Structure 1
C-alpha cells in the first residue's frame, strides 16, 4: 500500500522531501503559505495547497487526520512550527517529524509531543566534517547524541586480516554489522572473514569509540 504523507513548508528542506517521496511513488500533500512555492510543487506532489497550518480549521478541512505521517519543515518561523506541531498533536496525528532550528526549538518540540526532530543543517555539517577529517569515511549517520553508524573503506592496516585478527569489538567497543564487497553485501560477517581490498565496512558504535578506531586503524 502507498503511504500518504503531508509536507508543511516548501523551502529547500521541505521541497527536497516532497521530491524524494514523489520519486518513491508516495502520495504527498504539500502545503505552504507562499503561493509561488505551492505552484512550483503542484506538478510534483499529489496535491499542493496554500494554507495556514497554525489554523486548526485549515488542517481539518484538508483531512489531515487521514495521513500516515506529517513532516513539519517550516523554515525560520519557529512560532509557526511549534503551533503547527501542537495542532497536529491535538488532532491525533500519529507520526510527526519536525525540523528544528536550534536546541531550544527541539526541546519545545519534544515537550509538545513531536515524534521525531531533525536538524538537517547541523547533521549535514557533522557528516561533511567527518568525511573531511578521514578520507576513508564514505558516509556518517548519527543514530543518537552518542551513537553513529559509519561506512569506512578498508585501510591497508585491515586488508588481509580476518575480523577476529583485528579484534575490533574488544579493542574499540564497536561492531562491524555488514561488509559491502562490490555488489554483494555480507550481513553479520563471521569472525574468520578476511577483509579484502576495496571492502567497505559498515560500523556501529559510540562516537568516541568510532573516532578512536578511525585514528588507530583507518587513517
Structure 2
C-alpha cells in the first residue's frame, strides 16, 4: 500500500519549527517552511522542498504564497503571541484543514483553543512531564499519553529478571494493564508468549492507566 503524501506548512523556523519541518520532510511529506527571518529561511532551503520569507499576519500574502493549498499548518512562532494569534486566524480564513499551534503560556493556549486550533502544544511542559516520568522510574524508557488517563509505556527489563518468564510478571493480576508486546533489539514478539524467557534490556510495551502503570514499574 502506497503511503499518501500529505502537505504541511510550517510557520516559524526556530529550533522547534525547523526540527518538525525537517522530520516531516524526512518522512517523505511535502513541506514548505515559512519565516520572516531571511537567515532562518536560508538555513532550511536545502532541507525542505520549498521555503518562503513571509509575514503570516497578512492574509493576502499567505494566499499569494500558495499556503492555502496546504492541508496542515503548524504555527511554531516563538514569543510573538500577537503574530501567533493572527496567523492562526489567517490560516483558518484561507481554509487550512488542520491547524496545530505552539503556545508559549496557558493564557496563549486558551486563546488559540477559542480560535479553533485543532491542537495546541506546550512543548516545554509536555517535555517536562515526559522527562519527570522517566526520571521517576529508571525502568521506564519512554511513554505515550493516549488521553483519558491512559498511556503506553516502554519498560526495560532489569538484569535481575533475566531468565524469568513473562508469566512471572503477573501482568494479568494487575488490574487494567495489558501487555502489547515485547521488543528484543529490533525484533517484536507477540504478547501471548507467556512462557518466553526474558533477557536483560528486553522492552515491554504495556497499556494502562497511570497509577497502575506506576505501581507496576515500581514493582519491577
Equivalent in the alignment of 2:174: 171
- For residues 113 and 158 of structure 1, the distance between their equivalents in structure 2, rounded to whole angstroms, comes to 49
Between the two proteins, the alignment pairs up a number of residues equal to: 216
Aligned-pair CA distance for 1:134: 2.0
TM-score after normalising by structure 2: 0.87
Selected match of 1:196 from 198, 205, 209:
198
Alignment of 1:85-96 (within 5 A): 85-96=88-99
Against the structure 1 CA distance between its residues 169 and 85, is the aligned structure 2 distance closer, same or farther, given a 3 Å change threshold?
farther
Equivalent in the alignment of 1:3: 6
* SS in structure 2 at match of 1:10: coil
- For residues 81 and 170 of structure 1, the distance between their equivalents in structure 2, rounded to whole angstroms, comes to 49
* SS in structure 1 at match of 2:218: helix
**Which 5+ residue runs of structure 1 have no aligned equivalent?**
none
Root-mean-square deviation (CA), in Å?
Answer: 2.1
Matched, 1:15 2:21: no
- For residues 134 and 207 of structure 2, the distance between their equivalents in structure 1, rounded to whole angstroms, comes to 16
- For residues 43 and 185 of structure 1, the distance between their equivalents in structure 2, rounded to whole angstroms, comes to 36
**Which 5+ residue runs of structure 2 have no aligned equivalent?**
none
Against the structure 1 CA distance between its residues 170 and 93, is the aligned structure 2 distance closer, same or farther, given a 3 Å change threshold?
farther
TM-score after normalising by structure 1: 0.88
* SS in structure 1 at match of 2:147: coil
* SS in structure 2 at match of 1:28: strand
Contact 2:134 2:142 in 1 (8 A): yes
- For residues 169 and 60 of structure 1, the distance between their equivalents in structure 2, rounded to whole angstroms, comes to 56
Selected match of 2:108 from 85, 105, 110:
105
